[in-house]
């Protein structure tokens, strides 16, 4: 890559869950050939169905052409070999992400852009795992990633200026509106959003008000498009829990301690909208059954 980001070789998204599905949808809709890699074959089938549904809804005429650009794989090492861009979207577990970046350093082309969608982790630590590659950078997308316009672009100390330029160009190619952020725990959005969400959970625990009223307060009083508990259910309560644990590992601040109610919901398998139960219950179409159950 010299003057312009070349996307020949396409995009490989590692992790076909909530975020991987959204990022892959965005890449396909932008005309990029896209491979989704997951260790779980059943997850890949679900990812394919979700991506296809979204693309058919958005593109009635050329959906088949767009979908022809999608490949599914359980073999990360061969999938990334010719990729122009690799975007990691596996769970927020530091050892897992470190192991992925260590493998990418060998398996991907030296020119490939190596991106993490982490919500909280040190991009410098991931770049170190990839032998200090200057091609490692954070691109923090938002859920649903094919619709939400923001991407936080996060640079490691080893990230080269060319990599920053390429990541900004990729964000634009995906139709996003990026901001550049320093490699601090939680960047801008998770650092603020996790605090708001956790305080809302603690208020449910304390019986200050029911979940639905706490959300209503922030929607009607503060103009938030979505309340903090609705948002936590959308993000996934297991994802929230991992994010809080990761923030605790990166700072000694006690404000990121895990609310008891969050731990209990996750332990009981109530992971939010994706399991149809979290702070709310959801019907089969994913609409909340009001009033909130807690
Ligand atoms: P998820 O749990 O929905 O999906 C993760 C996927 O990764 C699963 O399908 C799993 O099978 C797969 N996976 C696990 N190990 C793997 C491996 N070694 N190779 C390939 N695939 C593997 O998680 P989600 O919500 O998509 O989050 C992924 C990342 O995105 C996390 O770092 C999270 O913090 C971040 N994020 C999540 C947001 C959200 O709203 N859910 C928003 C922005 C960032």
Confidence class of residue 15 from pLDDT cuts 50, 70 and 90?
very high
Q: Which ligand 1 atom is the nearest neighbour of the CA of 141?
A: 43
Q: In this predicted model, what pLDDT tens digit does every residue of 67-92 receive, in sequence order? A: 999 999 999 999 999 999 999 999 99
With the most atoms of ligand 1 within 8 angstroms of its CB, the residue from 13, 14, 15 to mutate is 15
Mean pLDDT calculated for residue range 159-174: 97
Q: Is 121 helix (H, G, I), strand (E, B) or coil?
A: coil
Which residue's CA is minimally distant from atom 30 of ligand 1? 89
Q: Is the pLDDT assigned to residue 234 strictly greater than 60?
A: yes
Q: How confident is the model at residue 286 (pLDDT cuts 50, 70, 90)?
A: confident
What does the pLDDT read at residue 34? 98
- CA-to-CA distance for 110 and 113, rounded, in angstroms? 8
194-217 average pLDDT score: 96
96 contacts 129 by C-beta, under 8 angstroms:
no
Confidence of residue 132 (pLDDT cuts 50, 70, 90): confident
Note every long-range contact of 97-101, with CB atoms under 8 Å and residues 24 or more positions apart, other chains counting. Answer: 97/121, 97/126, 97/129, 98/125, 98/126, 98/129, 99/129, 100/14, 100/76, 101/126, 101/127, 101/129, 101/130, 101/136
Q: What is the pLDDT of residues 223-233, one digit of tens each?
A: 999 999 999 99
- Asked if residue 144 has a cis previous peptide bond (ω within 30° of 0), the answer is yes
pLDDT of 289 reads 85
* Ligand 1 atom nearest to CA at 119: 34
Supply the pTM of this predicted model. Answer: 0.93
- Ligand 1 pocket, mutate which of 239, 249, 266, 278 (most atoms under 8 A from CB): 239
Cα(26) to ligand 1 centroid in Å equals 16
- Does ligand 1 lie within 6 Å of residue 89's CB atom? yes
Where residue 288 falls among pLDDT bands split at 50, 70, 90?
confident
The pLDDT confidence band at residue 61, using thresholds 50, 70 and 90, is confident
Task: Give the residue-averaged pLDDT of 134-144.
Answer: 97
**Cα 239 to ligand 1 centroid, rounded to whole Å:** 8
Q: In this structure, which residue's CA is closest to atom 37 in ligand 1? A: 19
pLDDT value at residue 254? 84
pLDDT band at 1 (very low <50, low <70, confident <90, very high): very low
Taking the C-alpha atoms of residue 194 and residue 10, their distance in angstroms, rounded to an integer, is 33
pLDDT for res 217: 97
279 Cβ neighbours under 8 A, 6+ residues apart:
201, 204, 211, 229, 230, 232, 233, 265, 272, 292, 293, 294
Taking residues 125-144, what's their average pLDDT?
96
- CA 86 and chain centroid, separation: 14
Query: How far, in Å, from the CA of 291 to the mean position of ligand 1?
Result: 30
List of residues 6+ apart from 266 with CB closer than 8 A: 237, 238, 241
Tell how far the Cα of 265 is from the centroid of ligand 1, in angstroms.
Answer: 19
Query: What is the whole-number distance in angstroms between the Cα of residue 41 and the centre of ligand 1?
Result: 15
Cβ(30) – ligand 1 distance below 6 Å: no
**Distance from residue 202's CA to the centre of ligand 1 (Å):** 25
Query: Which pLDDT value is given to residue 63?
Result: 93
pLDDT tens per residue, range 34-54:
999 999 999 999 999 999 999
d(CA 92, ligand 1 centre) in Å: 7
Residue minimizing CA distance to atom 9 of ligand 1? 17
Return the bridge partners of 36, or none: 13, 72
Closest CA to 140 of 163, 162, 121, 158: 121
What does the pLDDT average to over 158-173? 97
- The CB of 15 under 6 Å from ligand 1? The reply is yes
> What tens digit of pLDDT does each residue of 90-128 get?
999 999 999 999 999 999 999 999 999 999 999 999 999
> Ligand 1 centre from 242 Cα, in Å?
11
Question: Who wins on pLDDT, 252 or 98?
Answer: 98
Does the pLDDT of residue 176 top 80, yes or no? Answer: yes
Query: Any long-range contacts for 102-105 (C-beta under 8 Å, 24+ apart)?
Result: 102/129, 102/130, 102/131, 103/76, 103/77, 104/80, 104/130, 105/129, 105/130, 105/131, 105/133
Average pLDDT over residues 235-247: 95
Task: Output the pLDDT for position 4.
Answer: 73
pLDDT range class, residue 55, cuts 50, 70, 90 = very high
Q: Average pLDDT for residues 244-257, to the nearest whole number?
A: 85
> Does the C-beta of 143 come closer than 6 Å to ligand 1?
yes
Angle, to 10 degrees, between the axis of helix 260-267 and the axis of helix 189-206? 90
Q: What percent of the chain has a predicted confidence (pLDDT) above 90?
A: 88
Q: How far is the CA of 15 from the centre of ligand 1 (A)?
A: 6
Mean pLDDT, the chain, whole residue set? 94
């Amino acid at each position: 890559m010299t003057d312009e980001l070349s996307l020949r070789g396409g995009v490989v998204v590692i992790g076909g869950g909530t975020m991987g599905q959204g990022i892959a949808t965005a890449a396909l809709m932008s005309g990029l050939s896209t491979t989704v890699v997951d260790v779980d074959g059943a997850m890949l089938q679900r990812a394919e169905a979700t991506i296809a549904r979204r693309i058919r809804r958005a593109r009635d005429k050329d959906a088949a052409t767009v979908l022809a650009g999608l490949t599914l794989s359980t073999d990360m090492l061969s999938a990334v070999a010719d990729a122009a861009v690799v975007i990691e979207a596996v769970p927020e577990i530091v050892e897992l992400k470190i192991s992925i970046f260590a493998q990418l350093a060998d398996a991907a082309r030296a020119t490939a852009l190596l991106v993490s969608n982490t919500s909280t982790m040190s991009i410098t630590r991931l770049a170190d795992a990839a032998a200090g590659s200057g091609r490692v950078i954070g691109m923090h997308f938002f859920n649903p990633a094919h619709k939400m316009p923001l991407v936080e672009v996060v640079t490691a100390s080893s990230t080269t200026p060319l990599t920053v330029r390429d990541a900004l160009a990729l964000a634009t190619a995906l139709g996003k509106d990026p901001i550049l952020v320093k490699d601090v725990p939680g960047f801008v959005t998770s650092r603020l959003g996790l605090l708001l969400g956790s305080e809302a959970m603690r208020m449910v625990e304390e019986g200050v008000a029911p979940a639905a009223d706490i959300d209503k307060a922030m929607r009607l009083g503060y103009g938030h498009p979505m309340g903090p508990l609705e948002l936590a259910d959308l993000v996934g309560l297991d994802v929230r829990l991992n994010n809080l644990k990761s923030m605790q590992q990166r700072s000694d601040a006690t404000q990121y301690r895990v609310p008891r109610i969050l731990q209990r919901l996750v332990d009981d398998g109530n992971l939010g909208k994706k399991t149809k139960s979290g702070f709310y219950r959801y019907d089969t179409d994913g609409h909340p059954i009001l009033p909130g159950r807690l």
